[in-house]
Amino acid sequence: MARFARLLTVSPRWGILCVSITFLFSLSSFTLRAQDSSYARRIIRDLSSEEMFGRGMQNRGDSIAAEYLRQEMMANGVKPLCKNYFQYFRFPQTRTKPPIVKAGYQSQNVCGYIPGETDTMIVFTAHYEHLGMNGDTVFYGAHDNASGTAAVMDLARMANLQRGHYTYVFLLFSGEESGLVGSRYFSENPLIQLSKVKLLVNIDLFCGGADGLMVVNANSRETRPFVDKLEAINDLHGFAAKIARRDNAANSDHYWFTSECPAIFIYTMGGPFGGYHSPTDTCDGCGLGNYHRHMTLLRAFLEQL
């Protein structure tokens, strides 16, 4: 809103007119830039392909996916937050059920940013790894969470086309399915100054959405004004069927950040998606019929921060 604020100092009446025109223009420019879900579909299809082995630790599926996402960040003009975009960490515990992993296995978060006019940051997060394999069974993880990863990369792509006031940070975590391991490591070894984060938005489960969007950690003093704004925009335009709210829960990667900065977690409600923690969670099962409207809502919301 900083550039709108300058307009408002000229004359309130003209300011309001300019704000309205600018807002409508902004909306139409997202519409042009995000007019379909083809970019997200490609990312989801690639991440949930056989070649990624369910993005778990067997056959280094997590690392194959991380390298793919590093290339995608480079293609979208996202700069590295650390050497080669990779923040390495090791799993503290052995697991014998999916995601199967040995203690000490090294994985990586993929971390980048797009600078803005200020070093105040809006952070987007999603976990890219999934359950991997159990014997010959592949857990493809299109809904969980190739879809959220695709949405974060799509936001990066659009942020690069239209640079803005805030610095945008993109964190793609590994180890979520093993107990939020990668995001915990990042929160304890942050590559950014968390006190400068205006808002962190975690996206996990973004296929379907016939019944709208759920916001987790929506009721804290720090986050409620943001969720009110999101809901007000949605009430005006009807992008999502509904915006629902939940209290905080340790159910995804936003959790470790909630004591450091305003952090919310958004997931879709309702189908279609192929399954949850099941080999049926495939790209073909991932409905993206609501994707464009949900992304337009997020973009409109970001324009008003």
Binding site for Zn ion (CB under 5 A): 144-145, 204
What gap in Å lies between CA 201 and CA 185, rounded to an integer? 18
Which lies closer to Zn ion via its Cβ, residue 72 or residue 204? Answer: 204
CA atoms within 13 A on the CB side of 4: 16
Q: Which is nearer to Zn ion, 146 or 192 (CB)?
A: 146
**Closest CB 205 distance from Zn ion, rounded Å:** 6
Among residues 204 and 231, whose Cβ is nearest to Zn ion? 204
Please report how close the Cβ of residue 219 comes to Zn ion at its closest, in angstroms: 22
Structure tokens at 153: 């990369």
Angle among Cα 25, 26, 27 to the nearest 5 degrees reads: 90
Tokens found for residue 102: 């040995």
Cα(269)–Cα(286) distance, integer angstroms: 13
CB of 8 to Zn ion, least distance (A): 41
CB 54, min distance to Zn ion, A? 13
Which one, 145 or 167, has the nearer CB to Zn ion?
145
Nearer to Zn ion among residue 114 and residue 171 (C-beta) = 171
Minimum CB separation of residue 299 from Zn ion in Å reads 23
Q: For residues 160 and 197, what is the distance between their CA atoms, to the nearest angstrom?
A: 19
Q: Is 19 left (phi over 0), alpha (psi -120 to 50) or beta?
A: alpha
